[in-house]
Structure 1
Amino acid sequence: MKGVILNLVEEAVVETHGEAVWDAVLGHAGLEGAWTSLGAYPDDELPRLVAAGSELLGAEPERLARDLGRHAAQGLARRHPDYFARCEGTLPFLRSLDDVVHREVRKLHPDAAPPRFSWSEVGGPVPGGGAAMDLHYRSERRLCWLAVGMIEGTASFYGERTEVRHEACQLDDAPRCTLRVTTRRG
């Protein structure tokens, strides 16, 4: 896992709960927390942080990962506005993840192993207006709730409301997660 994601998690916890809570989470997770944004770190560090934060904050792990993902998307938008400026909304951005965003990540960081995304259109009208697609997420890290939060944070960046429903999940032994993403303006 790249350090930038771990840095964004630290930023989220410190901004929301303060340095003392972050230090407690690190201690509970048995981690030092000295990550550089370009460094590569063991894949188990983020799940350990989520588990420790969940215990210390009394939050469900999925909910905490989702909240961290929302914050991480906003942080990525601040750090890499060019990736977000290429698209006019959440769904076009999600369609570009593997072909544009993650391809650039792999060029800059050949050792990176970002999740794999594919997508399919949802036919027919969306109740209440808006647009929808199925986003297919596959990762050995199985951090789908972080991905859900990142989708929600991306929608917030574009000024859209979003609903993300798990239609299938790797955590339930599906080969990939299928996330039904519905967006509406405003």
Structure 2
Amino acid sequence: MKGIVFNLLEDAVCEQYGAETWELLLDDAGLDGVYSSLGDYPDAEIQAIVTAAAIRLNVSESSVLHWFGETAMPLLKTTYPEIFEPFHSSRAFVLSVNTIIHPEVMKLYSGARCPFFKFQELPDGALQMTYKSSRKLLDLAHGFVMGTAAQWNERVTIERFPAGSARENDMIIRWLAD
């Protein structure tokens, strides 16, 4: 995993819980926490930090990943406003993830292995998004979608399906009218 993900997680934790909490999470995970944004690090390290956060905060790992995704979006927008500028809505931004966002990520962070998303517009106007990645971070993607909507002051609901079901990697996203 690219170091930028670790940097974002550190920023999110420090902003909400303080730098001491980040240090405690690293200690709990048995990691030194020195992450260069361009560096590559084992996926197991992000998992160890997420597990440590779940234990320390007494929440599920799923909740930690969701929180991280949602919290990371304003940090990303501040750091890379040019990625957000061309879009008029969170829906347009989400739909561009494979064709614009992830190619930009790969330009910035050589060797990044981004997930792939399959999209299907549903008759009721909802968007079905299917997550494809060996990393199994659908909860993070869920948080990213929620955080993206917040960047445009939009509200969304996300329907998920049970783990182990044929649709466990699908989300149904509905944008709510104000």
CA distance in 1: counterparts of 2:8 and 2:65, whole angstroms: 12
CA contact under 8 A between 1:152 and 1:162: conserved in structure 2?
Answer: yes
CA distance in 1: counterparts of 2:135 and 2:167, whole angstroms: 13
Match of 1:127 in 2: none
Match of 1:164 in 2: 158
Shift of 1:41: 1.2
Q: Tell whether 2:147 aligns with 1:153.
A: yes
CA contact under 8 A between 2:160 and 2:168: conserved in structure 1?
Answer: no
CA distance in 2: counterparts of 1:64 and 1:174, whole angstroms: 24
Match of 1:46 in 2: 46
CA contact under 8 A between 2:161 and 2:168: conserved in structure 1?
Answer: no
Shift of 1:185: 4.8
Match of 1:137 in 2: 131
Any gaps of 5 or more consecutive residues in structure 2? none
Any gaps of 5 or more consecutive residues in structure 1? 125-130
CA distance in 2: counterparts of 1:74 and 1:174, whole angstroms: 33
Identity %: 31
- Residue-by-residue CA offset, 1:56-86 (whole Å, 9 max, x unaligned): 1111111111111111112111111111111
Match of 1:16 in 2: 16
User: Number of aligned pairs?
Assistant: 178
Gap change, CA 1:185 and 1:31, over 3 Å in 2: farther
Q: TM-score, normalised by structure 2?
A: 0.92
Shift of 1:18: 1.2
Greater Cα offset, 137-146 or 159-168 = 159-168
CA distance in 1: counterparts of 2:167 and 2:122, whole angstroms: 20
Let me know the Cα RMSD of the aligned residues.
1.7
Gap change, CA 1:174 and 1:74, over 3 Å in 2: farther
Match of 2:117 in 1: 117
Shift of 1:105: 2.0
Gap change, CA 1:176 and 1:41, over 3 Å in 2: farther
